[in-house]
Amino acid sequence: MPTLRELPEGLLVAQNRQSLAAGAAEWIKFELEEVLDLQPICRLLLAGGQTPRALYALLALEPEIEWSRCELWWGDERCVPPDHADSNFRMVNETLLQPLAARGQVPARVERWRTELGPEEAAAHYDRELRTIALVHETAPQFDIAILGMGADGHTASLFPQTPALDERERLAVVNTLRGGQGTRLTVTWPIIEAAQNVVVLVAGADKHSTLAAALHGPINVLKMPIQMLLDDAFDSDAEVTWFLDEDAAQSLSDLTQLNRL
């Protein structure tokens, strides 16, 4: 395990993006093996974007992981074909699925968002598929490991500030309309994240520092900064939340012990 400076409340800081990925990969591998010691299948909810690329590439190299007992789902997706440069499925396919296939390893289930159905039907289809997973919580199926990122505006998955999906508590998967005409995204909703057993948040880069500091230091306002849901008493979850940060994103967070919330 690379050297990680541990801050209170599950905040782990790595020197750089690569050691963040290495630390998260080791943590996820350990957790995944723990889950498979107790149950036949381990369900992972994957994050999109760029930060997880190095993590998925490292997980693909882990020979001990029993991928045939792992299900891969996506926390969100862009409304593009699965081979589009912006597709989160394509990113995971490149970094994880294809390297595994080259070694003859196939996950038990790879459930991508069927964006070819169009946004509304893709969301309805994902909602239906999510409901085929046994409901652990009365409202949502349980993912063993949910991997999330954070945008510089404080979004996570495709739960963006001041967007309708933030208030969705019935449907598990929806189309979310971004503000300012920035188009639409597909995303799971809070019940899915709340039902997770483990939530892993990956935040890297100096461009995230001020948002991360505001999220951890400042008053809670989930509408303005959705990532703060993970810190809010309203987060109706038993999930263990672990944050993997790099030094660029963490910068002056070492005074967390003075925070009134951590």
- Contact set with ligand 6PG (CB under 6 A): 47-51, 75-76, 88, 149-151, 155-158
For 173, the token pair is: 């998967």
Min dist CB 30 to ligand 6PG, Å, is 22
Beta carbon of residue 193, minimum distance to ligand 6PG (angstroms, whole number): 12
CB of 181 to ligand 6PG, least distance (A): 18
Residue with tokens 């948002």: 211
The nearest distance, CB 151 to ligand 6PG, in angstroms, is: 4
Q: Which residues contact 68 (CB under 8 A, 6 or more apart)?
A: 105, 106, 107, 108
Q: Which is nearer to ligand 6PG, 58 or 157 (CB)?
A: 157
Q: Quote the distance between the C-alpha of residue 230 and its chain's center.
A: 12
Residue nearer to ligand 6PG on the CB measure, 70 or 227: 227
Tokens of 256: 């967390």
Q: How far is the CB of 232 from ligand 6PG (least distance, A)?
A: 18
Residues 187, 4: Cα–Cα separation, whole Å: 31
Is the Cβ of residue 187 or residue 237 nearer to ligand 6PG in the bound state? Answer: 187
Q: Write down the residue that tokens 């449907």 correspond to.
A: 171
| 8 A C-beta contact, residue 156 and residue 149 | yes
Interior/surface letters 187-210, b for 16+ CB within 10 angstroms, e for the rest:
bbbbbbbbbbbbbbbbbbbeebbe
- Cβ 125 to ligand 6PG shortest distance, Å: 18
Q: Minimal CB distance to ligand 6PG: which residue?
A: 149
Angstrom distance (rounded) from CA 136 to CA 103: 33
d(CA 39, CA 46): 20
Helix (H, G, I), strand (E, B) or coil at 15: coil
Judged by beta carbon, residue 50 or residue 68, the one nearer ligand 6PG is 50
Residue number with CB closer to ligand 6PG (51 or 95): 51
Closest to ligand 6PG by CB, 7 or 20: 20
